Amino acid sequence: MNDLVKQFLPMFIETARDRLKKAEALAISNETKALADELHAFAGEAGVLGLFSLAARARDAETFARSLKPNYAGPDCQEHVEQLSLLVAELTPQS
């Protein structure tokens, strides 16, 4: 089964980068629901691949985004997304 992690980790990283780039834009434009949905998808993809800590951080960020008013994300949301981006940057595909 670890072969699956090796197989899908590069795709996960690529997808995660895209999602977080989109999430960053949504945080800046204060689209909190769409931001939360993006973080939710990210959490699910990290969770199924067994990246449990990353998934937990994404769920925390999603919960925070859902707690906000519909049209105001604020700087804390951007901070959450930046932290997730740093964690994704630390992932290295296994050889």
Residue among 7 and 29 whose Cβ is closer to other proteins: 7
Q: How many residues bind other proteins (CB under 8 A)?
A: 23
* Residue 51 touches other proteins, criterion: CB under 8 A: yes
Residue among 30 and 66 whose Cβ is closer to other proteins: 66
Please name the amino acid found at residue 11: M
Residues 95, 47: Cα–Cα separation, whole Å: 21
Per CB under 8 A, the list member of 6, 11, 29, 71 interacting with other proteins is 11
Inter-residue contact 49 to 12 (CB < 8 Å): yes
Inter-residue contact 30 to 73 (CB < 8 Å): yes
Contacts with other proteins, residue ranges (CB under 8 A): 1, 4, 7-8, 11-12, 15, 37, 40-41, 43-45, 47-53, 55-56, 59
